[in-house]
Amino acid sequence: MKFCCQNMLSDTLNGRIIFYKNKLEVIIKYYPRDRQYNMMYNNTDGYQILFCPFCGKYLGESLSDEWWATLEKEYNITDPIVDDREKVPPEFWTDEWWKKRGL
């Protein structure tokens, strides 16, 4: 995975970046499946971020909607989280599905 800058590269590969400011713990989490970045603080789910907080580069929209739509369109799977979970191809649990489709 190519990230926008060295700050993202070095720590996001370990799943998160932690830094402290006024005792607020901030974590940036990358979700490969959805190509989504969330900024979390103090153990909340946090918010999606669209720009790198270090270099300002646009990170892109989450592919979460496309994930659901692609599973329905290509595999007729409408409930990939519960009822149809067993039918979801393994590539859909990683970043492989969107890389293969050039998204």
Question: Smallest gap, in angstroms, from Cβ of residue 59 to Zn ion?
Answer: 8
**CB nearer to Zn ion: pick between 5 and 69:** 5
36's CB contacts (< 8 A; 6+ apart) are 30, 48, 62, 63, 64
Q: Is 11 in the site for Zn ion (CB under 5 A)?
A: no
Does 4 interact with Zn ion (rule: CB under 5 A)?
yes
Kindly identify the residues of this chain, within the stretch 52-71, that bind Zn ion according to CB under 5 A.
52, 54-55, 57
Does 5 interact with Zn ion (rule: CB under 5 A)?
yes
Burial readout 42-51 (b: 16 or more C-beta within 10 A, e: otherwise): eeeebeeeee
Contact 37, 29 (CB under 8 A): yes
Residue 74, Cα to own-chain centre: how many angstroms?
21
Q: Which residue's CB is nearer to Zn ion, number 41 or number 51?
A: 51
Binding mask 35-54 for Zn ion (x = CB under 5 A): -----------------x-x
Least distance between Zn ion and beta carbon 9 (Å) = 8
Q: How far apart are CA 103 and CA 91, in angstroms?
A: 14
Determine the straight-line distance between the first and last CA of the chain, rounded to whole angstroms: 14
Q: Give me the residues that bind Zn ion (CB under 5 A), please.
A: 4-5, 8, 52, 54-55, 57
